Structure 1
Amino acid sequence: MNTEKHLNALIASYETVIENVGEDVRREGLVKTPERAAKAMEFLTSGYEQDGPAILRKAMFAEDYKDMVVVKDIELYSLCEHHMLPFFGKAHIAYIPDGHIVGLSKLPRVVDVFARRLQVQERLTHDILECINDTLRPQGVAVVIEAAHMCMMMRGVQKQNSVTTTSGFRGQFEKQETRNEFLKLISSNLS
C-alpha cells in the first residue's frame, strides 16, 4: 500500500539514481525530480492495489444477450519489467455473454489494472483475458494488444516502427469463424 514511508523510500531511491548517473540532485532543475518521479512511479504501478474481478463484478448485469460485444482501440500505457521503460498501444476486447453483460467502461478499467504494473505484453494479454473469462464466465473472450516498446525504440535494436501484437482467445473465439469475425471488426473502420 502507498504510504508516506513508501513514497519517501522511492524519493530516496530516485535521489540515488540521479547521483549515480553523475548529476547533482541539488541542481535547481533536479531538486523536485525525485519526488515527481516517485509519485509518477506510484501512479504507473497503481494496478497492484486494484482488483480487476471486483471492478467487473460491480457492473455485471443479468441480460439474455448472446452476440459478440467488442470494445476496441482502448489506449494502454505500461512499463516493461525488463527495462522499466514504457510500452504503449491499444487493446481490443470482445466477449460473448452467457447470461451476464458488464458495463462497457469496466473493460478499459481492467486493462488499466493490469497495465499499471511492471509487465510484459504477453502476460498483460493473458491477465486481461483470464480476468474477464473467470469473472464473467462468458461463452468466449478475445483480447488483442498492439503496442510499441520504448526498450526496442530508444535502446537495443532501436527500431522505431516496430509494433508487437499479442492475442488470446477462449471459448467460442477458439473457433476460426468467430475469431475471424472479431479480427475483421477490430481492423475495420465502421464510423
Structure 2
Amino acid sequence: MDAVIKNFPNDVGEDQDGESRSVARPSEEEAKAAVELLLRWIGEDPAREGLLDTPKRVARAYQELFSGYGDSLEEILGRTFEEVSGYDELVLVKDIPFFSHCEHHMVPIIGKAHVGYLPDGRVLGLSKIARVVDAFGRRLQTQESLTAQIADSIDKTLKPRGVAVMIEAEHMCMVMRGVQKIGSTTLTSTFTGVFKTEPQEQARFMSMLRGKD
C-alpha cells in the first residue's frame, strides 16, 4: 500500500534567510490537481495508465525535495560544544554533496559544498554543517544565495572568528535547456570575519581544499 502523503510540517516556515514567515499552503488535492493540469498542458493524458498515480507521486517527491522549508535552523544549530581543549584552528568539512532546485526554472542543481570556520571557544557537531547545507539546499535557490545563507547562518549562531563557504555545482537549467552546456560548473564563495580581513586565512582555506595543507 502506498504511504499516505503528509502535509509539510506547518503553515509557518522560514524564508530564504531563515526568518519565520507565514505561508498559506494549498491542500494535497490542490497540489495533485496542479500536476494534472501540467500534464495536460504538455500534451499528456493524466488518465493514461502510466500516469494515474503520477500526481500523488509528484506531491510526495516535492515533500521530500523541498523539505528544507520545514527545517528549523535554530534547532539544527542550537547545540554547540565548548570543550575543545583550546582548539582554535580551521575546521573544514569539504565535499558535502547536495541537491537543490533553481528558483527560475525549478530544475535540479547538483553539487558539493565546502564549509570551514575558525572557532572562538565553541564548535559545531560536524553533522550539523551537513544538515545546514541540506536545509537551505532543499529549497528553491540560486547558487549565490545558497552560498551566502550557509555562511550567514553559521556565523550568526556560532559566532566564530570567521566562516568560509565554497560551492561548486552543475545547473540543469544550463544542461537540459537553453545553452545546453553539458559539464559546465559554477563556483561561488563567501567569507566572513577574518577570512575576509586576513588574506592568509582565506589562502589557507583554499589550500586545504586543494589538499596542500
Same fold, judged at TM 0.5 (above) = yes
The bucket for the TM-score relative to the shorter chain is over 0.9
Determine the C-alpha separation between the residues in 2 that align with 1:131 and 1:170. Answer: 11
TM-superposed CA distance for 1:189, in Å, is: 7.7
CA RMSD, Structure 1 to Structure 2 (Å): 1.7
Deviations 1:22-69 (A, max 9, x none): 1110111111111111111111111111122321113x1113321000
Counterpart selection for 2:81 from 54, 57, 61: 61
Aligned residue in 1 for 2:146:
124
Match of 2:29 in 1: 8
2:58 matched residue in structure 1: 37
Name the residue aligned to 2:181.
Answer: 159
More helix per residue: 1
Stretches of structure 2 lacking an aligned partner (at least 5 in a row): 1-6, 10-24
1:71 alignment partner in structure 2? 93
Supply the AA of the counterpart residue of 1:25: P
Aligned length: 189
Deviation at 1:185, TM superposition (A): 1.0
Deviation of 1:110 (Å): 0.2
Letter matched to residue 54 of structure 2: T
Counterpart mapping for 1:129-148 below 5 A: 129-148=151-170
Partner of residue 206 from structure 2, selected from 172, 183, 187: 183
Q: Tell me how far apart the structure 2 counterparts of residues 186 and 91 of structure 1 sit (CA, whole Å).
A: 11
Identical aligned residues as a percent: 47
CA contact (8 A) 1:53 1:131 kept: no
8 Å CA contact 1:7–1:39 kept in 2: the answer is no
- How many angstroms apart in 1 are the aligned matches of 2:26 and 2:162? 44
Opposite residue 61 of structure 1, the aligned amino acid is F
Q: When the two structures are superposed, what TM-score results if normalisation uses the length of structure 2?
A: 0.85
When the two structures are superposed, what TM-score results if normalisation uses the length of structure 1?
0.94
